[in-house]
Amino acid sequence: MGQWTEDLISVESAGTLDGLFLQRVLRSGDSVAYRSYDRAAKVWQDYTWSWMATEVARWQKALSEEDLHPGDRVALVLRNCPEWVIFDQACLGLGLVVVPLYTDDRPDNVDYILKDAAVKLLLVQDAGRWKRLAPAIQGNDTLLRVLINDPGPDTQSLAGSDPRLRQVDDWLPAGSAEPHRRNGDPHTLASIVYTSGTTGRPKGVMLSHYNMLSVAHAALTVIDCYREDVFLSFLPLSHTLERTAGYYLPVMTGSTVAYARSIGQLAQDLEVIRPTALIAVPRIFERVYGRLNEQMAAKSAFARLLFETAISVGWRRFLWQQHRRGWRPSLMLWPLLRKLVASKISSKLGGRLRIAVSGGAPLSPEIAKVFIGLDIPIIQGYGLTETSPVISVNTLEDNEPSSVGLPLRGIEVKIGENDELLVKSPGVMMGYWNNHAATTQMIDSDGWLHTGDQARIERGHIYITGRIKDILVLSNGEKVPPGDMELAILLDPLFEQVMVVGEGQAYLSAMVVLNADRWPGFAQDNGLDPMSPESLASPKLHTLVLGRLKHALKDFPGFAKIRRVSLLLEPWTVDSGLLTPTLKVKRPQVMERYAEQIGAMYSRGPAGGDHR
């Protein structure tokens, strides 16, 4: 790209999140704010800031006709699209509190959240989504209005069966209006974000306007963003990382946000949109990494050698640029390797990517090394919903991929008891909705938020070393962080999901979900029938899998080895109650669901008589 223009709106100038939006409209009215795929016309459509403001005003006019008052809660179950922003801004501008919900969350979970937050109005993607939710929400008498966003033949018939239902096009007034301008208090409640906890019911994290504004602005003190930047948005906006960093931050900078059609179409969207900035969770990079490995496996030995050399030289070049290693003659090969290898990978990501942020879960250092070696600038960050969410992030100039970076400006961190990371930040939540006891457990009397993550701090960088609650203690007293092991295991494309178990036991075992696409070929190559359930119990298969696990865990200490496995083909999903909406494994639920299989792994002792 050519010129890069900084046009940052300060926290003080914005005041509130709706104030931020209106400031951007004044500054950049005719510029493209959002880009979205029109499924009916099958074209990408651009939306200017001024057009968005007009739509916000229409929604506010319609909302003002409902029985809603400042502080009332409204919710939305909507995929990423301009309407998500329009609804959010319309509600915030009226002093309403927005409760974002995941589109793939279980209906009973949605029902719990709607009742817990006493939501009065709900915006739903389409009639099909409402039909899925309706049975669970039948008895909710707090919910006064349900809006269906996408028109469709079912919407009218559904509206006849439930007086609360309206189709958005029929509900919105004709004509134009001016957005509501107010002088709101930045420290009032803006949103309740329900954490997708791996245990128990989700808790409602209360975030103020200032919480999210301050974190977005602090991120911009370490990462430069410009009006010419194009973000490709595919993490759900109900995820606080996407909302703060992929929505409010681009409003603050005047950047364009394009909404990906789906994860399945992400590869095509990257090449069409050609983003300059990406925010993603590690699973996205893991999938790209897996595809690269598959493609390399099918190529010649020379092509594989060239690919590996490019990564090696590229990584060495990165370390030299970061002033961590000296210059080597091999770096003279980089221009050629970039042309032959790295540029071709980069083009698959649009060819203009200048920054990719990974957050929400740990990114494997090995995957980071591959992408950075291929000249794709990945930086890892860290945070919690309760901190709006960013606490720390690496910078392009001081990028230590095995760390989660440096604390943002204005954020204090320290190491507490049991090596727990403690945080003070302007982004720290107001507390948990209707749950004072949980709030006092999370934030101590001195104002330190307890993250629950174990960490160390070196050279200012934070390194997450484990999760206090997830540490497995073997019967010999050895402590094992299962998350690190699971990350290493999932680098093998044969494995789709894994959970390491062994609390109080003499050795570790694992529940392993095999990759359904790879299983048939792998089974046939090893003389097994992929269609027979008995094949999963084959001693030969278990020996092969244990061998692959041993290789994956070769860098772990001897006691951190898997001695038994239980193999599955049915993946763990949100609908089955075994994953959170952010796709984290619910360990207690998996333990309960597969209690018999886990018990069997210990009743027989370690595999092959291995009693180490």
Give the number of domains in the chain: 3
Residue 83 has pLDDT above 90, yes or no: yes
Kindly state whether residues 458 and 512 are assigned to the same domain: no
- The pLDDT score that the predictor gives to residue 555 is 81
Kindly state whether residues 497 and 462 are assigned to the same domain: no
DSSP label of 248 = I
Instruction: Convert 446-484 to b/e letters by CB count within 10 Å (16 or more is b).
Output: eebbbbebbbebeeebbbbebbeebbbebeeeeebbbbb
Q: For 193-223, write each residue's pLDDT tens digit.
A: 998 655 567 899 999 999 999 999 999 999 9
- The pLDDT score that the predictor gives to residue 290 is 85
Kindly state whether residues 178 and 238 are assigned to the same domain: no
Q: Rounded mean pLDDT of the chain?
A: 93
CATH number assigned to the domain comprising residue 228:
3.40.50.12780
- The pLDDT score that the predictor gives to residue 261 is 96
Residue with tokens 């075992």: 509
**Cβ neighbours of 219 (radius 10 Å):** 22
- Residue 196 inside a domain? The answer is no
Identify the H or E element spanning 148.
strand 145-148
Kindly state whether residues 158 and 237 are assigned to the same domain: no
Of 184, 200, 228, which residue sits at a domain end? 184
Residue 1 has pLDDT above 60, yes or no: no
User: Mean of the pLDDT values across residues 475-488?
Assistant: 83
Kindly state whether residues 144 and 244 are assigned to the same domain: no
List the strands of the sheet with 562-568, edge to edge: 495-501, 508-514, 562-568
Residue 611 has pLDDT above 80, yes or no: no
- Residue 1 inside a domain? The answer is no
Q: For 489-504, write each residue's pLDDT tens digit.
A: 999 999 999 999 998 8
Work out the angle at residue 345's Cα, subtended by the Cα atoms of residues 383 and 336, and round it to the nearest 5 degrees.
120
- What residues pair up with 593 in beta bridges, in sequence order? none
CA–CA dist 370, 355 (Å, integer): 15
Of 167, 184, 201, which residue sits at a domain end? 184
User: Mean of the pLDDT values across residues 498-513?
Assistant: 93
Considering only CA atoms, which of 468, 467, 550, 563 is closest in space to residue 506? 563
Kindly state whether residues 225 and 361 are assigned to the same domain: yes
Kindly state whether residues 462 and 529 are assigned to the same domain: no
- Residue 208 inside a domain? The answer is no
Kindly state whether residues 325 and 379 are assigned to the same domain: yes
pTM: 0.85
Q: Which residue has the higher pLDDT, 356 or 610?
A: 356
Q: Which domain, by its residues, includes 265?
A: 218-427+447-467
User: Mean of the pLDDT values across residues 533-554?
Assistant: 94
Residue 523 has pLDDT above 90, yes or no: yes
- Residue 154 inside a domain? The answer is yes
Q: For 281-308, write each residue's pLDDT tens digit.
A: 887 888 888 889 889 989 999 999 999 9
Sign of CA dihedral 58, 64, 67, 68: positive
Considering only CA atoms, which of 350, 343, 342, 351 is closest in space to residue 270? 350
Of 158, 184, 210, which residue sits at a domain end? 184
- Residue 119 inside a domain? The answer is yes
- Residue 556 inside a domain? The answer is yes
- The pLDDT score that the predictor gives to residue 612 is 40
Kindly state whether residues 110 and 122 are assigned to the same domain: yes
Residue 344 has pLDDT above 80, yes or no: yes
Kindly state whether residues 223 and 267 are assigned to the same domain: yes
Kindly state whether residues 372 and 482 are assigned to the same domain: no
Residue 340 has pLDDT above 70, yes or no: yes
Q: For 371-393, write each residue's pLDDT tens digit.
A: 999 999 999 999 999 999 999 99
Residue 265: which residues within 8 A CB-CB, separation 6 or more? none
Considering only CA atoms, which of 495, 481, 442 is closest in space to residue 560? 481
Q: Are 124 and 134 in contact (CB under 8 A)?
A: no
CATH number assigned to the domain comprising residue 598:
3.30.300.30
- Residue 205 inside a domain? The answer is no
Kindly state whether residues 267 and 128 are assigned to the same domain: no
Q: For 21-78, write each residue's pLDDT tens digit.
A: 999 999 999 999 999 999 989 999 999 999 999 999 999 999 999 999 999 999 999 9
User: Mean of the pLDDT values across residues 306-323?
Assistant: 97
- The pLDDT score that the predictor gives to residue 177 is 81
* Identity of residue 343: S
